[in-house]
Every structure is written in C-alpha cells, then in structure tokens.
Amino acid sequence: MGNICEKGRIMYTDKEDWLIDYYSRYKNFYISGHDSFSKRIGLSNKESEYLHFIGNKKGIYAYILSIGLDFDRDLEDVKSKVEKSSLIEKIKDVFGSLHVILYDKEVKEQNDFWVLDSTFINMDSKSLEKYFSNINPMLTRNKGTIKNINASINDNFVCNDCVYKPYCGVCPVCNFADQGNIIADIRNTTRCKIFMKQFDWVFKEKFIN
C-alpha cells in the first residue's frame, strides 16, 4: 500500500495517511488534496484542489471545488484544462451539481475569483456572494450558523466526545464508500472500527499495562 514496507512483523509507511494513499492509488478513488486528484483533473501539483460543502444541520446546500493557483503564471492554462476535464463531469454526476472556483493562492486578501458556469466568469467578493445567493439563499443567510465545512474535520461528528479525537480524523471518501454519504454514522464505519481497535491496543498495551 503506497510505500508500505515490511520490517520483521511491523508494517509501516512514510505517508501521513496510508489509507488515503491506498484508496487513491489502488482503488481509483478521487480524493481531494491528494496528488492523484490533480493529475486526474489534468492539472499539475502546483495547484491546490479541495472539495468542500456548505451546509448546516438541516442539510447540504452546495458542493464546491476550489482550485488555488498563481493567476499571473497559470490562469489561462488552468481554465482551459478544467473546462475540458472529464473528472469534473463525473463529480457533478455524483453530487448533482458542483461549483468550481479558481482563486489566486499567491494573494492574501482574496477579491478576484473565476467561477465555472458554462464558461469561466470573473467575479469579485460581492459578485461571488450574489452568485451563491441566487443558487440558494441559505448559502449566504445566517452567516453565523452556515459555514464552509471540511468533511474531514472531526469536530462535527460524534468524534467530539471520543477520547481518541486528538489522534484521529474523518475521511469523507471512506464514509462514502461505506455508507454512500460523506456525512456518515461514524461509529459504524469500517475505518472508525479499525482505528478504535488500534488505539485501544496502543494505549492499553503500551501505556496502561
């Protein structure tokens, strides 16, 4: 799995998350943030691509693919490649809709965006807010309760009460594979069950006994 090697009876990897690497490279999963995701879109590793969703407890209101790049150097090239990407269409088929936003990762104060509609449209911050308001008013209403949520953050799940939370994380790809939804019943996912057993063994065998 990835760079996993065998040393006696110990299996190890130099990846931060070998499971993510395994699903991406060998199970053909599309995992945002992984270098394989860039290649499948047709981009290089210079760009930063992440899949997000906006929602609250009532539901998910929009899926967004944000792509950070150097506007001065790569804007036209990235726009062309994204417009031709078959992966973007596949993601749209899964989620029903997908909003692609390009931003300049070299700039601290963001006020210049390119949004893919039928073609790319240039927008400032106010235009971007109006764009999402037209899609669904809930996206820009009650800003204190509706936030950009990363599905891999474990503050939004039952993990908040788990003693192992500081050592763990949520994988939306594994959630989708297990239960068909990136917002899963975490305790019943295969990944959580494996990690819980591993943490139990480490802490009980190495630190308690």
77 & 175 share domain: no
**Lowest mean pLDDT across 11-15, 36-40, 121-125:** 11-15
Give 3-state DSSP helix, strand, coil % of the chain, rounded to 5.
Answer: 45, 20, 35
- The reply to whether 109 and 135 lie within a common domain is yes
Same domain (yes/no): 25, 37:
no
Provide the domain count of the chain: 3
Q: Are 85 and 124 found together in one domain? A: yes
Same domain, 84 and 137: yes
Last residue of some domain: 125, 149, 173?
149
- For the ranges 9-23, 25-39, 106-120, which has the lowest average pLDDT? 9-23
- Which residues constitute the domain of residue 90? 32-149
Q: pLDDT at position 13, please?
A: 39
pTM (2 d.p.): 0.59
Q: Which of 2, 68, 79, 73 is nearest to 36 (CA)?
A: 2
Kindly state whether residues 25 and 36 are assigned to the same domain: no
What integer best gives the mean pLDDT of the chain? 76
